[in-house]
């Protein structure tokens, strides 16, 4: 029998085992006013005082669906004030009759938590899911036909945004233990009456299905939790295998043009796509695709949760010659050559501009272009050719004016590449380099003042720009991360 006074020690063991918290973490605690989140906050405050030097703040969402919701938010605010913690809140405006109310509320709630965590510079968001919640999740996923990934339930921690983890410190303990702890602390809490409405799936499972199962098997909840834990261990192993597959087969561009993916990632401040050649698809075991999908999404800085329906859609897409699959914040597209994972990040339109040389110009919030004049006679052939990714190049400056022109690519742009015969369409060249259709017109071209392209970053320079034995002056162009001047 676990005693309330033992809960803190067991919590510390769970935190250490799962590596949920560390000194100097900034933790945003999601608190609703219910027993679970009130207990979580009080326990983390105890840990802060006795064990770990970390910073805490409180966030609360008023869903605006019940008359008492404002009073609950006020109680949470008072609790934060009692312990001198920063408090953040928002009120949602949802339609109580919407058939997807639960999902809409969850998305809005987590969006607020992420935005608040980013503004407060939190490293962790702590939520109060406990062991009984895990059992409900297991049952719900089982009924939905989930595979081993869904049956692993909620993880103790997972990335939720760049540099921020969602942690669940109470997954180890039962709901009754939380009540016992709060009573021992002399604390009160609110009971959300909507949790008693069986029209919601989770409520029905908790109020009706689980009690029936417990009549046949009193230990059904521990058994569910043990199965979920076993599934998590298997998923951890498959994740390791997926990482190896990812490093072997997932790439940002075709091997001939390694700089293309790098250029777009620099321009956008994050990777925009990943690809797997169709020839490699049969070599990837079916069981690894869910874990591989998560790895690819994380590499694209997309922190979303995939469901069974998404994995089923991916399985169907892999069997088709071509097609598309819409995932949360991402599109998977199969072409005749490869399977693309496309970020749906929106980039602002680039305004064409003159670029004086020598000099520096900002191309995006993340990328700048630097131009430096060089004495061509001092450049060695090895130096000129040491640009395998074509993100740093040397142009013949003898025939150029003191300015270049930078613009985005159009369907009409052509170029005679270094060492080639005749002009070729640049959009077609980008297609052959593996650039997805959606991003080809986002390519930035460095042109002469008349608009004739001289350099396609990531692919190469024009034949007219080449440096030869008679060249006197050269221009070194280099793309590099933008660093604001203090």
Looking at the structure, tell me whether residues 326 and 384 fall in a common domain: no
Where residue 462 sits, what CATH number does that domain have?
Answer: 3.50.40.10
Choose between 256 and 414: higher pLDDT: 414
Per-residue pLDDT reduced to its tens digit, 181-203: 999 999 999 887 777 777 778 88
Q: Are 29 and 40 in contact (CB under 8 A)?
A: yes
Q: Is the pLDDT of residue 154 over 70?
A: yes
CATH of the domain at 258: 3.30.465.60
List C-alpha distances in Å: 278 to 248, 333, 337, 435, 455.
14, 12, 6, 15, 30
State which of 287, 310, 343 marks the end of a domain. Answer: 343
In this prediction, residues 380-400 reach a mean pLDDT of: 80
Distance CA 405, CA 6 (A): 69
Is residue 211 in a domain? yes
The answer as to whether 328 is a domain residue is yes
Higher model confidence: residue 130 or residue 254? 130
Q: Please, which residues bridge with residue 159 across strands? A: 165
**Are residues 357 and 287 located together in one domain of the fold?**
no
Average model confidence (pLDDT) across the chain: 90
The answer on 339 and 405 residing in a single domain is no
Looking at the structure, do residues 296 and 387 belong to the same domain, yes or no?
no
pLDDT the model gives residue 327: 93
Which residues are 142's β-sheet partners? none
Q: How, if at all, do strands 26-30 and 124-126 pair?
A: parallel
Q: Does some domain include residue 145?
A: no
Residue 447, in any domain of the structure: yes
CATH number, residue 17? 3.40.50.620
Residues 6+ apart with CB under 8 A from 2: 10, 173, 177
- Is residue 235 included in any domain, yes or no? no
Residue 405 sits in the same domain as residue 371: yes
Determine the Cα–Cα distance for residues 67 and 454; give it in Å rounded to an integer: 66
Does one domain contain both 52 and 181? yes
Residues 41 and 98 reside in one and the same domain: yes
Asked whether 8 and 47 are in contact (CB, 8 A), the reply is yes
- Which of these three, 343, 375, 409, is where a domain ends? 343
- Answer whether residue 182 is part of any domain: yes
Q: What is the pLDDT of residue 405?
A: 94
pTM of the model: 0.81
Number of domains in the chain: 3
Q: Is residue 100 part of a domain?
A: yes
Same structural domain, 385 and 404: yes
pLDDT in tens, 259-308: 999 999 999 999 999 999 999 999 999 999 999 999 999 999 998 888 88
318 and 446 in a common domain: no
Last residue of a domain, one of 296, 321, 343: 343
Q: Give the residue numbers spanning the domain of 427.
A: 353-481
Residue 253 has pLDDT above 90, yes or no: no
pLDDT at 399: 81
Q: Per residue in 123-134, pLDDT tens?
A: 999 999 999 999
User: Judging by DSSP bridges, how do beta strands 86-91 and 55-62 pair with one another?
Assistant: parallel
- Above 70 in pLDDT, residue 101? no
Verify that 469 and 446 share a domain, yes or no. Answer: yes
Q: How far is CA 35 from CA 55, 177, 206, in A?
A: 22, 11, 17
> What is the enclosing helix (H) or strand (E) of 74?
helix 69-82
Whether 276 is covered by a domain: the verdict is yes
Same domain, 21 and 94: yes
Determine which of 292-301, 312-321, 466-475 has the lowest per-residue pLDDT on average: 466-475
Average pLDDT over residues 312-318: 95
Same domain for 208 and 69: yes
Residues 419-429: tens digit of each pLDDT: 888 899 999 99
Share of the chain above pLDDT 70, in %: 95
- Tokens 């959300």 sit on residue: 192
């Amino acid at each position: 029998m676990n005693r309330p006074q033992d809960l803190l020690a067991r919590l510390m063991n769970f935190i250490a085992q799962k590596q949920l918290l560390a000194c100097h973490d900034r933790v945003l605690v999601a608190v609703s006013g219910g027993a679970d989140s009130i207990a979580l906050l009080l326990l983390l405050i105890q840990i802060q005082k006795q064990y770990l030097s970390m910073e805490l703040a409180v966030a609360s969402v008023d869903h605006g669906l019940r008359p008492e919701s404002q009073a609950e938010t006020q109680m949470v605010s008072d609790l934060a004030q009692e312990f001198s913690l920063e408090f953040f809140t928002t009120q949602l405006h949802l339609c109580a009759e919407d058939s997807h109310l639960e999902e809409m509320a969850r998305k809005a709630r987590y969006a607020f938590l992420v935005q608040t965590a980013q503004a407060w510079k939190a490293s962790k968001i702590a939520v109060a899911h406990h062991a009984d919640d895990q059992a409900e999740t297991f049952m719900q996923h089982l009924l939905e036909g989930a595979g081993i990934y869904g049956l692993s339930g909620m993880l103790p921690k997972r990335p939720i945004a760049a540099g921020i983890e969602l942690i669940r410190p109470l997954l180890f303990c039962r709901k009754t233990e939380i009540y016992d702890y709060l009573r021992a602390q002399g604390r009160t809490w609110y009971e959300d009456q909507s949790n008693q409405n069986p029209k919601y799936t989770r409520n029905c499972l908790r109020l009706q299905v689980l009690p029936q199962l417990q009549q046949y098997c009193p230990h059904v909840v521990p058994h569910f939790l043990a199965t979920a834990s076993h599934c998590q261990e298997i998923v951890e192993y498959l994740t390791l295998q997926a990482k190896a597959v990812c490093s072997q087969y997932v790439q940002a561009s075709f091997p001939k043009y390694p700089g293309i993916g790098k250029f777009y990632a620099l321009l956008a401040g994050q990777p925009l796509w990943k690809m797997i050649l169709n020839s490699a698809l049969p070599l990837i075991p079916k069981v690894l695709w869910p874990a591989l999908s998560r790895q690819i999404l994380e590499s694209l800085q997309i922190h979303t949760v995939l469901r069974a329906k998404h994995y089923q859609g991916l399985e169907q897409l892999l069997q088709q010659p071509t097609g598309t699959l819409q995932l949360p914040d991402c599109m998977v597209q199969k072409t005749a050559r490869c399977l693309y994972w496309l970020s749906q990040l929106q980039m602002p339109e680039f305004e064409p501009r003159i670029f004086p040389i020598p000099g520096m110009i900002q191309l995006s919030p993340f990328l700048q272009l630097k131009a430096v004049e060089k004495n061509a006679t001092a450049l060695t052939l090895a130096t000129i050719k040491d640009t395998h990714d074509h993100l740093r190049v040397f142009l013949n400056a003898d025939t150029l004016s003191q300015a270049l022109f930078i613009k985005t690519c159009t369907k009409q742009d052509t170029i005679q590449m270094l060492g080639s015969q005749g002009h070729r369409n640049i959009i077609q060249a980008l297609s052959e380099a593996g650039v997805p259709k959606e991003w080809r017109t986002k390519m930035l071209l460095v042109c002469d003042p008349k608009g004739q392209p001289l350099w396609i970053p990531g692919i190469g320079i024009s034949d007219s720009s080449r440096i030869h034995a008679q060249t006197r002056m050269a221009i070194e162009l280099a793309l590099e991360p933008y660093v604001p001047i203090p």
